[in-house]
């Protein structure tokens, strides 16, 4: 609202000045065109950056898949492990996202009337029919910490929160297109939560959770094949963006 008022005021000033200096009116289309060009360049640069990110992620996913296939990606850990549990990877700076309440909003109105008592103060008489309605929850970062991905569980340890997701209790996984974010639903927790990585230079948490589930329910070879397929999808996304931008590799 305030920004709109400022824009209107600037426009009125330009129109007033233009009465004596008509060339000032050129400022409006030039500024508008500059804004559009800036937005286009920014969007293009973001897409170019995504090409590099997808290709980096594809490379590290392929390397991880090769390790899993050879058995070199599975090892013991420096914390208490369950029988036959093997460590896939550990990552720092992973965000824990959960559905958080955003408060309530007052909705409704009054059936009475109001009259002015003094300047800035009114008194309402009559029946109030409004009510407080809970706002929809929002997915927000609640902590950042270290995640251990094993063949039996995923553990998160942050400064304020800790979480443990048993692989055999997972109900569903929702992995985003680049593997950086994974929404996990488990049978012993009422609401799903998500893990989000911070860099494309490491295998995305989504791919690591998927690998843990596949190794647990099937074998390392199947998990490696899934990882190679995900890496190919990342390269295909990078190539599609490159073609759309008419870039040559």
Residue 189, φ and ψ in degrees, nearest 5:
-130, 140
Q: SS3 breakdown of the chain: % helix, strand, coil, rounded to 5?
A: 45, 30, 25
Q: pLDDT truncated to tens, each residue of the chain (249 aa)?
A: 555 566 666 666 656 555 666 655 555 566 666 677 777 767 777 778 789 999 999 999 999 999 999 887 676 666 778 888 889 999 999 999 998 877 777 666 555 555 554 565 555 555 555 676 777 888 999 999 999 999 999 999 999 999 999 999 999 999 998 999 999 999 988 889 999 999 999 999 999 999 999 999 999 999 999 999 999 999 999 999 888 888 865
Q: What is the pTM of this model?
A: 0.73
Residue of 158, 132, 141 lying closest to 100 (CA atoms): 141
3-state secondary structure of 218: coil
Architecture field, domain 46-102+138-244: Roll (2.30)
Residue ranges of the domains in the chain? Answer: 46-102+138-244, 104-134
Residues 6 or more apart whose Cβ sits within 8 Å of residue 199: 93
- Cα separations in angstroms, 3 against 8, 9, 34: 9, 10, 19
The DSSP bridge pattern shows strands 104-107 and 181-186 to be unpaired
């Amino acid at each position: 609202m305030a920004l709109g008022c400022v824009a209107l005021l600037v426009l009125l000033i330009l129109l007033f000045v233009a009465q004596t200096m008509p060339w000032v009116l050129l400022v409006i289309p030039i500024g508008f065109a500059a804004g559009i060009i800036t937005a286009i360049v920014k969007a293009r640069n973001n897409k170019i950056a995504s090409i590099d990110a997808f290709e980096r992620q594809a490379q590290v996913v392929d390397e991880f898949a090769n390790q899993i296939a050879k058995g070199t990606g599975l090892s013991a850990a420096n914390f208490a492990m369950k029988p036959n549990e093997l460590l896939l990877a550990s990552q720092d700076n992973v965000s824990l996202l959960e559905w958080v309440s955003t408060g309530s909003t007052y909705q409704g109105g009054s059936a009475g009337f109001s009259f002015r008592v003094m300047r800035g103060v009114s008194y309402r008489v009559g029946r109030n029919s409004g009510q407080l309605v809970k706002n929809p929850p929002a997915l927000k970062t609640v902590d950042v910490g270290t995640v251990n991905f094993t063949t039996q569980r995923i553990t998160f340890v942050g400064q304020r929160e800790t979480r443990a997701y048993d692989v055999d209790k997972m109900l569903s996984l929702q992995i985003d297109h680049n593997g950086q974010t994974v929404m996990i639903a488990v049978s012993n927790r009422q609401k799903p939560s998500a893990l989000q990585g911070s860099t494309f230079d490491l295998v995305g948490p989504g791919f690591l959770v998927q690998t843990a589930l596949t190794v647990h329910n099937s074998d390392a070879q199947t998990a490696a094949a899934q990882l190679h397929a995900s890496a190919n999808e990342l390269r295909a996304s990078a190539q599609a963006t490159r073609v759309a931008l008419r870039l040559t590799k």
